[in-house]
A and B are shown apart, each in its own frame.
Chain A
Amino acid sequence: MMYTFWIILTGCLVGLTCGIAGSLLVLRKMSMIADAISHTVLLGIVGAFFVSHSLNGVPMLIGASVVGLLTAYLVEVLNKSGVQSDAAIGVVFTSLFALGVILISLIGDQVHLDTNHALMGEIAFVPWDTMMIKGQSYGPQAVWMLGFALIANVLLITLFYKQIKMSTFDPQFATLVGVPLTFIHYLLMTMVSFSTVASFNSVGAILVVAMLIVPGATAYLLSERFLHVILLSGVIGVIAALLGYGFSILLNVSIAGSMATMTGLLFLLAFLFNPKNGLIIKKLSTHY
């Protein structure tokens, strides 16, 4: 019973945390950077292990945000020196990810972290990896990390809401009136890194991209206000997690895979039926 509860809670927290952070990337037309950071945090996690010799939450969060920011920074540098932005992202994230893969194979016999796990995650193991303090267990580590990332996201968005909105809509005007553009950019990259590393154990590097981008893209089709896109994106992430869990139990298939599939399904529904410019509504209105 407790086991099921932890898995559902973890899934919902992944949906909420990634949905909120990812919607900002979608609005800024920077979805590809989510793909990059979700892979390069692997290097951060392995790097954190080399420094702290454990797979503990705090070093992992630090390592992931350092590498996440490094990814965003390198992409920016390459981009400014004339490399096309999609190529810059492709070069940076594959190199840093590859470095992470090499390091993992070096320490593979010391930790239960392998490349397969890193790519796909395994939410079913989450409840057993608990936070231990002085021999006492305080619930799954993933839940603690996700809780932290969620609070950080909500806090930062609340504090810098205006700045995030203005720099997304009209960056040049925002600079002119004194919005610190670079600071906001790296703030978002930190939020994405936190969300990614906290979700990593549950859904892995590839499926976390679905949790980051698809709810945001879906909410974008359904809302007319900046705040609504962010909130709705979180809600869609949670719905996808719940539906995905149910689906996986029903068919006895991968939980994380089902959750990601559900985000895609919800997107498809919004794409076809949204009242603003859904495909079906358009077809109907041209016929009648």
Chain B
Amino acid sequence: MNAITVQQLTVVYDKQPALEDVSFHVPKGSLTGILGPNGAGKSTLIKAMLHLIPRKFGHVNVFGKPYTEQKHLIGYVPQRREVDWDFPTNALDVVLMGRYRQIGFFKRAKKEEISWAKQCLEKVGMLAYANRQISQLSGGQQQRVFLARALAQNASIYFMDEPFAGVDAQTEKAIIQLMKEWKKEGKTVLVVHHDLQTVEDYFDHVLLLNKKPIQYGETQRVFNLNNLEQTYGGKISFLEKSPVLIQGGE
């Protein structure tokens, strides 16, 4: 069964195509890594799928229905640098934002919702920081607050935009732990990723993207030198069986 079907998704920035005719199916319960060089449109792809940016063309279906009817099934971890962490609020409050649908339009968070949010913080090892002003958290801790917020959404499908970028070992472990748990619960996870060395450990499916989809499929089948060279334009070499990005990465 397909959790997500993307058909002919096209995004245009300033008359330049950022994504051209992207189509693929994501099976339910899969862990997909979205890979590609800088400027390949990886973040653009998930934002377009989530209807956060204007699309020129294309359809996104979630469990067989249009995305707009299924938004409540979606959880999202944006890139950390996309928000202003000087914003006057604390970690618990950010996590409670993940319970917005459950809390209701005019209502305040009840005790159950607050204890739910606290459990989510505990799962990522951040309960001790619940009342901490978010600007006083380290980058990794801020990332874990975002993870806890996504966890609080209790979604069926999770989108994460470069969650591993610039985080400490503890946070990296927390992310991997969560992804495994989500997979065990039959949830579907899509992750924008750029560290090629960890791809085979983390993901069972891979989308290779460079403005157009180069390949989508099981990691074993798709993640090989030939496909990577096509995606990254021949700037790849394999060292001890692990692909290493020679140029063009971060």
Question: Does A135 sit at the interface, judged by CB under 8 A?
Answer: no
A169-B83, A173-B78, A176-B76 given; A225·B88 CB < 8 A:
yes
Which residues from chain B contact A228 at a C-beta distance below 8 Å? 88
Q: Does the CB pair A162–B100 fall under 8 Å?
A: yes
Cβ of A168 < 8 Å from any Cβ of B?
yes
CB of A224 within 8 A of chain B? yes
Closest-CB distance, A24 to chain B (whole angstroms): 12
Q: Which of A159, A165, A223 has the most CB of B within 10 A?
A: A165
- CB contacts (< 8 Å) of B90 on chain A: these are 224-225
Residues of B61-109 whose CB lies within 8 A of A: 71-72, 74, 76, 78, 82-84, 87-90, 93-94, 97-98, 100-101, 103, 105-106, 108
- For residue B52, CB closer than 8 A to chain A, the reply is yes
A223 to B89, CA, bound (A): 9
Cβ distance A260 to chain B, nearest Cβ, rounded Å: 25
How many interface contacts (CB-CB < 8 Å) are there between A and B? 66
The answer on a CB contact under 8 Å between B133 and A166 is no
Q: Provided the pairs A159-B106, A166-B100 are in contact, do residues A173 and B88 lie with their beta carbons within 8 angstroms?
A: no
A259 at the interface (CB under 8 A from B): no
Is residue A84 within 8 Å, beta carbon to beta carbon, of the partner chain? no
- Give the chain A neighbours of B82 by CB distance below 8 A: 170, 172
Closest chain-B Cβ to A285's Cβ sits at a distance in Å of 16
B175 contacts partner chain A, Cβ-Cβ < 8 Å? no
**A178–B89 touching, CB < 8 Å:** no
Q: Say whether B153 faces chain A, with CB atoms less than 8 Å apart.
A: yes
Contacts of B72 in A (CB 8 A): 178
B97 contacts A177, C-beta separation under 8 Å: yes
Select which of B47, B108, B153 is within 8 A of A177 by beta carbon.
B153
**Which residues in B have their C-beta under 8 angstroms from that of A229?**
88
A residues in contact with B52, CB < 8 Å: 172, 175-176
Q: Are B101 and A224 in contact (CB under 8 A)?
A: no
Q: Is A78 an interface residue (CB 8 A)?
A: no
Q: What's the nearest-Cβ distance from chain A to residue B80, in Å?
A: 11
21 examples of A-B residue contacts, CB within 8 angstroms: A27-B87, A27-B88, A29-B84, A82-B14, A169-B87, A170-B83, A172-B47, A172-B76, A173-B97, A175-B52, A176-B50, A176-B52, A176-B71, A177-B71, A177-B100, A177-B101, A178-B72, A220-B88, A223-B88, A224-B133, A226-B87
